[in-house]
Amino acid sequence: MTLLKRILRCVRETTSLGLHLRASVDLFVMAYSDADWACCPDTRRSTSSFYVFLGESLVSWSSKQQPAVSRSSAKAEYQAVENAAGECIWLRYLLDELHCAISKATVAYWDSVSAVCMSCNPIHHKHTKHIELDIHFVR
């Protein structure tokens, strides 16, 4: 109940703020993702979040606990960017169905140095078989 009151108080104090959708000549899909590794003190599950932009407008976002405990921060980061990539793919298919094709590649940003190194260097893949599908999907 305390958490609900806190959320309602936050909403009441920020009614003048909002999401602004702007028209853009140059359409592109861009995503940002992040994960907070083992942040839950009870279950040690990670929280992952992502934000997807179409041009300059925020069109999709998510923040939720991951379904399983990640054994490394890189795995948690990869699961977060995998969720963002899946959302970007869905958005591109939706825009294609609406006959609004996007010619530029989707760009995803995340801040894990170890996850970036694993995606760029295929030699490390034999040491990371437990997240091999995530790496393949993101690449």
Residue 5 domain flag: no
pLDDT tens, N- to C-terminus, the chain (139 residues): 888 888 788 878 877 777 677 777 788 999 998 887 777 777 777 888 899 999 888 888 888 877 777 666 777 777 788 889 899 999 999 999 999 888 889 988 887 666 666 666 656 555 555 566 666 666 6
Select from 131, 110, 116, 132 the least CA-distant residue to 35.
110
| The predicted structure's pLDDT at residue 126 | 56
The domain of 74 spans 24-138
In contact, 50 and 80? CB cutoff 8 Å: yes
Residue 12 domain flag: no
Residue 91 domain flag: yes
Number of folded domains that form the chain: 1
Q: In what order do the strands lie in the sheet with 57-65?
A: 57-65, 47-54, 29-36, 107-109
Give me the amino acid identity at 118. Answer: M
Q: What is the CATH number of the domain that holds 35?
A: 3.30.420
Residue 9 domain flag: no
pTM of the model as a whole: 0.70
Distance CA 17, CA 10 (A): 11
Residue 2 domain flag: no
Residue 10 domain flag: no
80, 81, 84, 86: CA torsion to nearest 10: -100
